[in-house]
Every structure is written in C-alpha cells, then in structure tokens.
Amino acid sequence: MTIDWAHFTPLSALAGGALIGLAAALLILGIGRVLGAAGIVGGALEVQGADAPWRWSLIVGLVLSPLVARLLWSVAPPVFVAPWPALVASGLLVGFGARLGSGCTSGHGVCGLARLSPRSLVATGIFMAAAFVAVFFTHHVFG
Amino acid sequence: MKRNIFALGAGLIFGLGLCLSGMYEPAKVIGFLDLDGAWDPSLAFVMGGAIVVALPAFFVARRRAAAWIGGAIDLPRAQAIDAPLVVGSAVFGIGWGLGGVCPAPGVADLGFLNPGAAIFVVSMAAGMLIFRAAADRRLPGLKLLAQDA
C-alpha cells in the first residue's frame, strides 16, 4: 500500500473535520443533543413530538450547506459512482444497520469517540472493518 | 425556536465541514476505504479534526447541569457491547462500503440536486423504517432488534 498523494488533502480534511466537531459541540452544549446523523434522520422519520422540529431543522441545514459552500469557494458536485441498484442496497443497509447499531459515522465515529465511549469505539472498529471488506469485494473481487 | 436555530446552524456547519473536507464526495470516501493500491488517508484526518474539537465540548457537557438554551443535556447512557451494536455496525459498514455514502453526506448531497443522493436517501429512510417496524413488531428471528439503543 502506498499513500495516494494526488488525492490526499490533509489540511482541508483537518479543517473540515474541525467544522464537524464544532457542529457537534454547538449541538451538545447549545441544545443538549448528540450530533448523530442516523439518529437525527431516523428520529425525524419516526417521532412526532418535541424532538421532531429540531431534527428537521438540522436536516434542512445539511441540505442547504452545499449552496452556502458554493458561495464561499468552488465545490465540485459529487459523483455517485455506484450504479443505482447498488445505491438502493447501500441505502437500505446503511439505514437499517445504523439504527440497529445505534449510530453511524458521526454518532459513533465522531461524537462517540469524542465521549471516549468504549461502545462507540467497538462500533467504529466494526463498521470500518466491514466497509474495508465491502470495498475490497466490490472493487477488486467483483469489480 | 432557539432549539431549531441551533440545530439549523449545526446542520449547516456540519455540511460545510463535509464539503470542505471532501467527505461529501463518495469517490473520496472510497479512496479511504480501498486499502489496495494508492490509499487516501484524508477521512482519518477528518475524524481526527472533528474529535479534537468535540472532545472538550463533551467533557464540559458531562459536567453541566443544563444546555445553553435550558433543558437537560441528553448524553447516551447505553454501555453494553451487545449483539445489536455489533451486527448493526457490521451491516452499516457493508452498506457504507457499497456506496461510499453514510447518512450525513447522503443528506447534504441532496443540496447538489444529485439523483444518486436522492436514491440513497430514500433507500436509507426505507431501511430505517423497516428497522423500526421490525423492532416494534418483534418479528420472528429479529428479536434482537427489539432491544433499544
């Protein structure tokens, strides 16, 4: 394995990561809620109550963010490389798995690790390992 | 109202972080998840940067009685490393590797009016609702799902 220096962007990765951490900090200190995207989307879909409006507000903020980003700097539109049946399968597994496992990349991988939660450390290790294996199969075995 | 403004702001900053770090781009995520050949470690730097900033905030949050706008600070209480955590995380990871998309970037990419993002997000919502239905009805063979987070 070699480092892909052509694509590796350590500074913007750190800076963007710091913004994600800032968002998590604002949410936990400001309104006392954990920034876990799967919990927020899943909760918004399920719960009719006091927690529904802020969850939908956060989702609106996420959807508006590319428009704001494009006012500030040049952002290339994303390219979804996987064909649509793979995206459907991916979405189903991501949605089901993140709810069963109580968290996703932001909930366990960022907030959970920042809380020093052993549960989130295990979850993050498992979903990373599973994703490495999935990419190995889709890109190198069947790819 | 204050709650919603905080949440909107947090969502916006979260999404700006995804755009700046490149994590809104499935190919960049795959570049990290593909260990074969040339490897792009950027995603680890994103997580590192996020954790460094969030860690002191959670440290303070644990010691505060209330959030800034008032009301309880709701930190996860679950401690158990159990089957739902392990199986759910494995299923999530397979899905993440398959598309290179996880929940927040999927939702943010809707803002680019990307059809792939729409397909992903609708399927993800379906997966979440299937989970809820399975957990509530305690479908045979899916008893584990009844266990709450």
- What 3-state DSSP class applies to B119? helix
pLDDT of B140 reads 57
pLDDT of B55 reads 98
Question: Which ipTM was obtained for this model?
Answer: 0.97
Domain ranges of chain B: 1-75, 78-149
Which one has a higher pLDDT value, B6 or B140? B6
* Token pair in block for residue B53: 């900033």
pLDDT of A72 reads 97
Tens digit of pLDDT for each residue in A21-44? 999 999 999 999 999 999 999 999
Residue B141 banded pLDDT, cuts 50, 70, 90: low
Residue A16 has pLDDT above 80, yes or no: yes
* Token pair in block for residue B12: 């916006």
Per the DSSP assignment, residues forming a β-bridge with A2 are B38
Contacts of B46 in chain A (CB under 8 A): 13-14, 16-17, 20
Q: Which of B12-16, B75-79, B106-110, B111-115 has the lowest mean pLDDT?
A: B75-79
Name the helix (H) or strand (E) containing B130: helix B115-137
Tens digit of pLDDT for each residue in B113-123? 999 999 999 99
What is the DSSP secondary-structure string of A107-137?
IIIIIIHHTT-HHHHHHHHHHHHHHHHHHHI
Number of domain units in chain A: 1
Average pLDDT over residues B130-135: 91
**Does residue A4 lie within any of the structural domains?**
no
Tens digit of pLDDT for each residue in A82-110? 999 999 999 999 999 999 999 999 999 99
Q: Does the CB of B10 have a partner CB in chain A at under 8 Å?
A: yes
Q: Using alpha carbons, select from B19, B46, B5, B23 the residue that is nearest to residue A67.
A: B19
Exposed/middle/buried for residue B67 (C-beta within 10 Å: 0-12, 13-18, 19+): buried
Q: Does the CB of B118 have a partner CB in chain A at under 8 Å?
A: no
What is the DSSP secondary-structure string of B13-81?
HHHHHHHHHTTT-HHHHHHHH--SSEE-THHHHHHHHHHHHHHHHHHHHHH-SS-TTSS----------
* Number of other residues whose CB lies within 10 A of the CB of residue A60: 17
pLDDT of B73 reads 96
Check A97 against B54: CB less than 8 A apart. Answer: no
Q: Does the CB of B60 have a partner CB in chain A at under 8 Å?
A: yes
Average pLDDT over residues B73-102: 96
Q: Which of A78-82, A134-138, B59-63, B144-148 has the lowest mean pLDDT?
A: B144-148
**Does residue A93 lie within any of the structural domains?**
yes
Check B123 against A26: CB less than 8 A apart. Answer: no
Average pLDDT over residues B88-115: 98
**Does residue A114 lie within any of the structural domains?**
yes
* Token pair in block for residue A29: 């200190």
Residue B146 has pLDDT above 90, yes or no: no
**What values do phi and psi take at B39, rounded to 5?**
-110, 135
Check B45 against A95: CB less than 8 A apart. Answer: no
Domain around A117: 10-141
pLDDT of A23 reads 98
Average pLDDT over residues B114-142: 88
CA angle A48, A107, B27 (to 5 degrees): 110
Minimal C-alpha gap between A129 and chain B (Å): 7
Residue B138 banded pLDDT, cuts 50, 70, 90: low
**Does residue A3 lie within any of the structural domains?**
no
User: Which chain A residue has the Cα nearest residue B83?
Assistant: A101
Radius of gyration of chain B (CA): 18
pLDDT of A1 reads 79
* Number of other residues whose CB lies within 10 A of the CB of residue B7: 27
Contacts of B39 in chain A (CB under 8 A): 1-4
Residue that the structure tokens 């899916």 belong to: B142
Q: Does the CB of B122 have a partner CB in chain A at under 8 Å?
A: yes
Rounded Cα–Cα distance for residues B74 and B87 (Å): 25
Residue B148 banded pLDDT, cuts 50, 70, 90: very low
- What 3-state DSSP class applies to A50? coil
Per the DSSP assignment, residues forming a β-bridge with B39 are A3
